[in-house]
Structure 1
Amino acid sequence: MWPTHRDETPFAPEWGPPGRARRVMRVVGPVMGVVWAVFLLQPWQSAWASPPGWERTVSLLAVAGLALSFAWVVLTHAGPHGTRMPTGRAALFLGGQCVLVALACLAADQDGLVGLVFVCVSAVFLLRDPRALMVAGAAAVAVLVVPRLVTGWDTIDDLIISVFLATFAVFGFTQLVLRNRQLQLARDEVAVLAVERERERIARDMHDILGHSLTVISVKAELASRLFEVDAERARAEILEVQTLARSALADVRGMVSATRAVTLAGELAGARQAFDSAAIEADVPGTIEEVPDRLRELFAWAIREGTTNVLRHSAASHVRVTMTPDTLTIDDDGAGPDGDAPAGNGLHGLTERARQVGARVEMSRGPLGGYRLLVTTAPDGAR
């Protein structure tokens, strides 16, 4: 089956909602991240409430700068299409944010350390790997140690919970988005491969079906033209068979398109006998298929079709021998034999692919009759 077009389904197979909703989420998602900056109101209010002076001014500017830097990170590096910043640049950026946190503490005291939460979240968006968790660990150590070293500051150990919760929550979210994006890329690749594989199948089946049928039609039409003046009744019978073959080929093509055609080993053996008889080629063809296991019958049927087509087209043979065992099919002729410089055709490529799917292999060589040998087998090499 051909892959269904995306517009035919209510939801496209991509991360997030489709169409307009996805475009809206690309805007709403970062905006929701920027809203986190309201938590910087705590250090802002603490700095604002401090005595006027240069420390107060510097702290307020530092809090505002931290809010702007965090907003820039969210708008440019968050979401499903965010990119990782190079490690060197990320380290400089995060170092600058830490300097802003330190400046915010000039007037906001211990409340300025709230900015470390935003440094940790920025690290997750910029680094996009477990190294961001190390930044959270360093921030937690700073929250524990710095207030105890600075005279007059109160401890804010509960901020550690906020640091780790925010870091792990955002890290988990970014990893989920990354995995969903990778899954979508994999789905797109699978869809492309499915289309290519279907095209190859149709091309292979078209070659195998029409190549064989048109070859037999050509042989019978040529025989009918030769018999027209000698044996009109026989020529008429051959032309009727050409009509039957043409209808059968048309039915095969329709069945191929609708995936309902069936290729049977018994039918191909009967068709091979008829084709060789029409071409005046003496043929030894098995009369039974009972010893061939079910899983190999379709492969052997395609092999007989391909071998018959090659004999009629290229070999100029007068004798053909088809041999079947439970695990091997061989088709030998006494014709011109293989051309070592000639590349394998589409039919042999298709037959090789079919054989690979059931654990068999295809070999082409010069046979005991002096001509071409086509061998399809599941037996180990050298076991025949």
Structure 2
Amino acid sequence: MSAARSGVRLRPILFYPWLLLLLGPAIAVVQGGTHPAWVAGAGLLLLAAAFLCAVHLALGGGGLRPAALGALAVLAVLTVTLTFTGGQPMIRAFYLVAMAAGVVLAPGPERLGPLASLVVATAAASTAWLTHAGDVFGAWYVTLLSGLLAGGFVKLVATVNELGAARDELARAAVAEERLRFARDLHDLLGHTLSVIVVKAEAVRRLHERAPEVARQQAVDIETIGRQALTEIREAVTGYRVTTLRDELAGARAALAGAGIEVTVRHPGPPPPPPVEALLAWSVREGTTNVLRHSGAGHCDIRIATTGGAVTLEIVDDGAGCAGAAAGNGLRGLAERLDAVRGTVELVPAAGGGSRLAVRLPCAAEPAEEGETR
């Protein structure tokens, strides 16, 4: 799963059912309530086609589109004409005009859509009054409400897509910032150390025949420096060097909040022993990274509890699941570290949707000693 989203696409087919508003006028034409019937029938077909064209063109993207405005104008003219010739049943066509206006004008200025809906509603009420086509206020109110609802729905979908894109960008920025921080740490650890090792190795190459004791001392120095660098790298990777569980939880709060994900942290009781705390800190970092990169969640719950001689960490999100994280190197590395101290890690779907990362460690866990590298 990717953090990026495709967004909610508003399809014109969602507005097709509103053509049922023309069912009453169509029945009136069939029953002979409008003369000549073939003209009224053709007018209704053209009106439906103009409505569909306006909606399709408006939802094609690109802001206010002249073609969509033209289809809206044709729809308005047909509606007024049919209402004056067809009487009360045709007044419902104004509802479609208001809806089409709300959809077509939604990408424009904020007040343009509501103003257009008010104009269409006033035109509907005026036409109803002039043609004695029924309840004037009812025609005005329903027409205005139709336009406002349609325009508001289109704007809501656009806002949801913008917020989703912004959250995805924040998540990418948080991950990129973490990568840069880790790269800086590794550079600080290895830059000077490797330079010293190279210099001493060159000295060994030059002196191993002329001054073997000096060369031997240089080789001992290389071994000492290499071991120290290896220890520092292990500490940096496992989180021992600069972070504690409290720091990692604070970092998780900041990273998730920066990505627009609401986070709740529950950590009652005293802090766990240092070896357990270090592994929990690393688990929090890995779990938070997975939520940022893979879940697309809106809420994340981090819980730490100590029961029965074991410490349990749970990171639960309400996203789309972490199938992409399950096969990642980070989770495999975390599983290897926990396995070395008889701990377990589990990534499963959460009960209400999303993912649940569960880490369990014995309270007396001691990290296993790694083999020396020579």
Match of 1:121 among 86, 92, 99: 99
Kindly provide the amino acid, as one letter, of the partner of residue 84 in structure 1: G
Partner residue, 2:63 = 84
Q: Does 1:146 align with 2:142?
A: no
Native 8 Å contact 2:51 2:72 kept in 1 = no
Contact 1:147 1:153 in 2 (8 A): yes
- 1:158 match: secondary structure: helix
Most deviating of 215-224 and 140-149:
215-224
Q: Counterpart in 1 of 2:186?
A: 206
Which residue pairs with 1:19 in the alignment?
none
Match of residue 38 from structure 1 = 20
Corresponding residue for residue 199 of structure 2:
219
Asked if 2 retains the 8 angstrom alpha-carbon contact of 1:50 and 1:108, the reply is no
- Distance of aligned partners of 1:123 and 1:83 in 2 relative to their CA distance in 1, 3 Å threshold: farther
Alpha-carbon separation, structure 2, partners of 1:235 and 1:262: 35
Tell me the alpha carbon deviations over residues 158-191 of structure 1, each in whole angstroms, 9 at most, x when there is no partner: 1222112222222222121111111122133224
Asked if 1:163 is matched to 2:143, the reply is yes
Residues 258/170 of structure 1: CA separation in 2 closer, same or farther (3 Å cut):
farther
Q: Which amino acid aligns with 1:131?
A: L
Cα offsets for 1:107-130 (capped at 9, x unmatched) = 421332211111111112112143
Q: Residues 110 and 13 of structure 1: is their aligned pair in 2 closer, same or farther, counting only changes over 3 Å?
A: same
1:1-384 aligned at under 5 Å gives the runs: 5-6=1-2, 15=7, 30-50=12-32, 53-54=35-36, 56-78=37-59, 82-86=61-65, 88-128=66-106, 129=108, 130-150=111-131, 153-224=133-204, 228=208, 232-262=212-242
Indicate conservation of the 8 Å contact 2:102/2:151, yes or no: yes
User: Are residues 77 and 143 of structure 1, via their aligned partners in 2, closer, same or farther at CA, if it must alter by over 3 Å?
Assistant: closer
Shift of the 234–57 alpha-carbon distance from structure 1 to 2, 3 Å rule, reads same
Query: What is the aligned partner in structure 2 of residue 369 from structure 1?
Result: none
Alignment CA distance shift 1:103-1:125 (3 Å): same
* TM-score normalised according to structure 2 size: 0.55
Q: Percent identity?
A: 28
Deviations 1:272-316 (A, max 9, x none): xxxxxxxxxxxxxxxxxxxxxxxxxxxxxxxxxxxxxxxxxxxxx
Q: 1:167 to 1:53 in 2, by over 3 A?
A: closer
Structure whose alpha-carbon radius of gyration is higher: 1
Task: Provide closer, same or farther for how the CA distance between residues 124 and 148 of structure 1 changes in structure 2, counting only shifts above 3 A.
Answer: closer
SS at match of 2:64: coil
The Cα of 1:141 is off from its aligned counterpart by 1.4
Residues 143 and 157, structure 1, Cα contact 8 Å, conserved in 2? no
Q: Which amino acid aligns with 2:149?
A: A
How far apart, CA to CA, are the structure 2 residues paired with 1:205 and 1:52?
Answer: 82
Residue 94 of structure 2 contacts residue 120 of structure 2 at CA under 8 Å; is this kept in 1? yes
Distance 1:234 1:15, change over 3 A: same
The runs of 5 or more residues in structure 1 that have no matched partner are 17-24, 264-384
Structure-2 separation of matches of 1:230 and 1:13: 66
Question: How big is the shift at 1:255?
Answer: 4.0
Distance (Å, rounded) in 2 between the aligned partners of 1:155 and 1:190: 52
Contact map agreement 1:15 1:184 (CA 8 A) in 2: yes
Query: Helix, strand or coil: the match of 2:137?
Result: coil
Structure 2: which 5+ residue stretches go unaligned?
A: 244-374
The answer to whether the 8 Å contact 2:101/2:116 transfers is: yes
Cα shift at 1:97: 0.6
Cα distance between partner residues in 2 of 1:172 and 1:260: 52
Number of matched pairs:
240
- Tell me how large the CA RMSD over aligned residues is: 3.2
1:39-60 Cα distance to aligned partner (Å, 9 max, x none): 1112222333345743x32222
